[in-house]
A and B are shown apart, each in its own frame.
Chain A
Amino acid sequence: MDPILPGRPAPPPLYGLVLAGGRSTRMRRDKAALAYQGRTQLERAMALLAPHVVRAFVSVRAGQGSDAVRARFAQIPDAHENIGPIAGLLAAQAQHPGAAWLVLACDLPLLDEATLAHLLRARAPARMATAYRSSHDGLPEPLCAIYEPRSREPLAAYVAAGKQCPRKFLLGADTLLLDEPNPRALDNVNTPEEYGSAMATLTAQGSTGRHITVQYYALLREQAGRREEVLVTAARTARELYTELAARYPFSLAPEVLRVAINAEFGDWSTPLADGDAVVFIPPVAGG
């Protein structure tokens, strides 16, 4: 049991909310009902959330409550129409004002346990919210985030002022922003093409995906914007891994000028990577 620390109040209880009230216009099918590896996306999101929260709810629009995908979960119906996902959070905060809310969109098929665990560990109850900084555009990711009770009144005022964008709300609020441990975890799926691509990624991860720790030093550390990350990758060799990373980060160094280390020993670019390997790409050295 955790020791009770004098003078430090317990953080507000954490409730979970999966947003499944969207209209899925571009997908032309209900996103909550899309199946990945035999489970609907809503079931996957609820299963990811459940172990971490006191109570878990699905946010629904009026009229969605009795459909087969949603009916088996506790629900919170939107009180506002046509203002997008912020309506779900607003309704949840109104119903349980003393709770903090871990909010998840239900179109994040690549969301993994590591990403959720990192968010929970880093949670800052004294701030208004804890969220990830998008690996694509650097802006807050509002739909895999924790909203503390302190955010309730500012959020209600924000909506009352006619604003609806949860990302801009987080930008203007006292938000703790974190780097994503897995930069693809929050890729959302809006179109049939993105659905196909996400399924292919999950299949690749399931059959050939390896967990690789990559540590960055010197110029590569600056260009990657991080010292270390754990990736699930289909890359078979260090060369393929570098190609994958160079597509994600603005690396200026060609592989020809780098050396590679695997598990803290000089390695070969074409050696097959194994699950759990630690890889370092070594820029030109300059000791002495």
Chain B
Amino acid sequence: MFRFTRTSIEPQALRAQLGDPACGGYAAFEGWVRDSHEGVRVRHLEYEAFEALAVREGERIIAEAIARFGVAHAACVHRIGDLAVGELAVWVGVSAPHRHEAFLACRYIIDEVKQRVPIWKKEHYLSGDSGWVNCERCAAPAAHAHRRAPA
């Protein structure tokens, strides 16, 4: 299961959905909103997703994790909208007969989600600036040409 939510993520309720008498291990990952990014103080974050494709790609990642590591159940919930520092942005949970596969599958899911799912994060800094993470330093050459050379 992969889905988005616009309200706070409740890990306890999500964890209960992965319960299974055949499982002896449960691993989870929680991604929290941190108060800084590369040394710059962050006030809050804004997440946006292309939901139609993001849910499809997220479901593919979950299916891959189950097939690859042989875990019993796996799920991921991602928050979108405005988030304050300390809030839960993403949750991944995996249950499996043994802990080893649960850890591996959990790690696989969060790593793939971060790389493949069309979700974007805009950071709003204490300074009042803001920026789309991973987008501000890959401008086209034409855009660079308009910038002033460093002093």
- A residues at B contact (CB < 8 Å): 215, 217-219, 221, 246, 251-254, 257, 261, 264-266, 280, 282-288
Given contacts A218-B135, A252-B139, A254-B141, contact A287 B56 (CB under 8 A): no
Whether the Cβ atoms of A219 and B120 lie closer than 8 Å is yes
* Interchain CA distance A254-B140 in the complex, whole Å: 4
Number of interface residues of B (CB under 8 A): 32
* Interchain CA distance A254-B110 in the complex, whole Å: 27
Residues from chain A with Cβ under 8 Å of B132 in the complex: 218-219, 283, 286
| Chain A CB within 8 A of B18 CB | no
* Interchain CA distance A253-B137 in the complex, whole Å: 9
* Interchain CA distance A261-B57 in the complex, whole Å: 12
Checking A265, A283, A287 against B135 with a beta-carbon cut-off of 8 angstroms, the contacting residue is A283
Checking A218, A253, A261, A264 against B140 with a beta-carbon cut-off of 8 angstroms, the contacting residue is A253
Q: Flag the segment in B45-53, B66-74, B100-108 that touches A.
A: B45-53
- 20 sampled A-B residue pairs with Cβ under 8 A: A217-B49, A217-B50, A219-B120, A219-B135, A252-B143, A253-B138, A253-B139, A253-B140, A254-B138, A254-B139, A261-B118, A283-B134, A285-B114, A285-B119, A285-B120, A286-B114, A286-B133, A287-B90, A287-B117, A287-B120
| Chain A CB within 8 A of B44 CB | no
Residues from chain B with Cβ under 8 Å of A265 in the complex: 53, 56
Given contacts A218-B120, A253-B140, A261-B50, contact A284 B56 (CB under 8 A): no
* 4 tightest Cβ-Cβ pairs between the two chains A and B: A287-B119, A218-B120, A254-B140, A284-B134
Residues from chain A with Cβ under 8 Å of B121 in the complex: 286-287
Residues from chain B with Cβ under 8 Å of A215 in the complex: 50
- B residues at A contact (CB < 8 Å): 31, 47-50, 52-53, 56-57, 78, 89-90, 110, 113-122, 132-135, 138-141, 143
Residues from chain A with Cβ under 8 Å of B118 in the complex: 217, 261, 280, 282, 285
Residues from chain B with Cβ under 8 Å of A218 in the complex: 48, 120, 122, 132, 135
Most buried by A among B47, B56, B132, B139: B132
* Interchain CA distance A287-B115 in the complex, whole Å: 8
Whether the Cβ atoms of B120 and A283 lie closer than 8 Å is yes
* Interchain CA distance A280-B122 in the complex, whole Å: 19
Whether the Cβ atoms of A288 and B110 lie closer than 8 Å is yes
Residues from chain A with Cβ under 8 Å of B139 in the complex: 252-254
Across the two chains, which residue of chain A brings its CB closest to B54?
A: A287
Query: What's the minimum C-beta distance from A216 to chain B, rounded to whole angstroms?
Result: 10
Given contacts A215-B50, A218-B122, A280-B50, contact A285 B143 (CB under 8 A): no
